[in-house]
C-alpha cells in the first residue's frame, strides 16, 4: 500500500472514529434531555430563582401560545447535555487519547472526573455568583428610569442558559491546555509571551459572549484571566511530564 493510500485510510479511520464518538455523545444528550423534560418545570423554577431573588417585583411573561412549551424544551435540552457531560467527555477522551503516550492513555477516569468537575464548577459559579450580581445590576438600571421589570420567559431563559454554558466551557481551559501541552502544541513560554494579547482577546470574547453591559463582561473577563494563569501552570506540569517520559 502506498503512503498516500495509507494516509487516506488513516484519515478515514479518524473520521469514522469521530463520527462514532459524536453519535454516542448526541445519543447520550438526547436520552438525558428526554429524562430532564419530565422535570423541566421544576428545573425552570430553579433557573428563574436568581431573577426572583434579585428582582422580587419582576414579572415573567410569555408572549406566544407555544412559548412555555419551547422554554421547557430548551431547559430539557441544556439539562440533558449537562447530565450527559461525563459521557461526552469520555467520548472526547476516546477520540484524542491515541495521540498520547501509553501510560497517559490510562487516565480516562481522572480526565472525565476533572473535566466534568470543571464544567459543573463553571456552571455553579455563574449561577451563584454571576447571575445574582448581574440581575441586581439590571434591577438598579430599571429603578434608575422608574420602570417595573416585565421579562419574557424565552428571552430570560436564553440569557441564563447562554451564560451558564459559556462559564461551563471556559472553565475547561486548563484541561484543554494540558492536552495541547502533552501533544507538544502549547508551551508555557508561548502563553507568557503572548499574555498581553491574551488579555486583550479575553476582554473581546467577554464583550461578545455576554450582554452589552460592562459589569457582566468584567465578571467573565476576571475568571478568564485567572484561568489563563492556571493554564500557564498546567502547561508547565505537562511539559515536565513530557521531559520525564
Q: 120 with 219, same domain? A: no
Q: Would you state the pLDDT for residue 213?
A: 63
Q: 145 with 206, same domain? A: no
Q: Would you state the pLDDT for residue 47?
A: 94
Q: 156 with 222, same domain? A: no
Q: 16 with 121, same domain? A: yes
Q: Would you state the pLDDT for residue 181?
A: 82
- All three cell numbers of 27, joined, read 445519543
- Dist CA 42 CA 197 (whole Å): 43
pTM, rounded to two decimals = 0.83
Residue pLDDT, tens place only, 187-203: 888 888 888 888 888 88
Q: 72 with 181, same domain? A: no
Q: 111 with 49, same domain? A: yes
- All three cell numbers of 57, joined, read 417585583
Phi, psi of 60 (to 5 degrees): -90, 130
Q: 74 with 177, same domain? A: no
Q: Would you state the pLDDT for residue 104?
A: 62
Q: 77 with 122, same domain? A: yes
By C-alpha distance, which of 87, 85, 114, 79 is closest to 21?
87
235 inside domain: yes
Residue pLDDT, tens place only, 20-38: 889 999 999 999 999 999 9
Q: 76 with 177, same domain? A: no
31 inside domain: yes
Residues of the chain with pLDDT under 50: 1-2, 5, 9
For 25, the domain range is: 1-163
How many folded domains does the chain comprise?
Answer: 2
User: Do residues 107 and 163 lie in contact, with contact meaning Cβ atoms separated by under 8 Å?
Assistant: no
Q: Would you state the pLDDT for residue 1?
A: 45
147 inside domain: yes
Q: Which residues contact 32 (CB under 8 A, 6 or more apart)?
A: 79, 80, 81, 82, 83, 84
Q: 120 with 215, same domain? A: no
Q: Would you state the pLDDT for residue 11?
A: 61
Q: 141 with 235, same domain? A: no
User: Do residues 210 and 217 lie in contact, with contact meaning Cβ atoms separated by under 8 Å?
Assistant: yes
Q: 221 with 146, same domain? A: no
Amino acid at each position: 500500500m502506498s503512503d498516500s493510500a495509507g494516509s487516506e485510510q488513516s484519515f478515514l479511520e479518524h473520521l469514522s472514529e469521530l463520527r462514532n464518538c459524536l453519535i454516542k455523545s448526541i445519543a447520550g444528550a438526547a436520552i438525558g434531555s428526554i429524562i430532564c423534560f419530565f422535570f423541566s418545570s421544576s428545573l425552570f423554577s430553579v433557573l428563574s430563582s436568581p431573577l426572583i431573588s434579585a428582582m422580587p417585583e419582576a414579572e415573567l411573561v410569555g408572549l406566544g401560545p407555544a412559548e412555555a412549551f419551547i422554554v421547557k424544551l430548551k431547559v430539557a435540552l441544556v439539562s440533558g447535555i449537562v447530565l450527559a457531560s461525563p459521557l461526552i467527555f469520555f467520548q472526547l477522551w476516546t477520540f484524542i487519547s491515541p495521540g498520547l503516550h501509553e501510560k497517559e492513555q490510562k487516565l480516562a477516569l481522572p480526565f472525565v472526573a476533572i473535566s466534568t468537575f470543571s464544567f459543573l464548577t463553571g456552571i455553579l459559579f455563574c449561577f451563584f455568583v454571576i447571575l445574582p450580581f448581574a440581575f441586581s445590576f439590571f434591577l438598579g438600571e430599571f429603578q434608575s428610569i422608574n420602570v417595573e421589570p416585565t421579562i419574557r420567559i424565552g428571552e430570560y431563559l436564553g440569557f441564563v442558559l447562554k451564560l451558564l454554558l459559556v462559564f461551563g466551557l471556559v472553565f475547561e481551559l486548563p484541561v484543554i491546555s494540558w492536552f495541547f501541552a502533552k501533544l507538544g502544541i502549547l508551551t508555557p513560554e508561548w502563553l507568557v509571551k503572548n499574555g498581553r494579547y491574551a488579555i486583550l482577546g479575553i476582554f473581546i470574547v467577554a464583550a461578545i459572549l455576554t450582554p452589552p453591559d460592562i459589569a457582566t463582561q468584567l465578571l467573565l473577563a476576571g475568571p478568564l484571566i485567572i484561568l489563563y494563569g492556571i493554564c500557564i501552570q498546567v502547561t508547565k506540569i505537562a511539559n515536565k511530564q513530557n521531559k520525564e517520559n
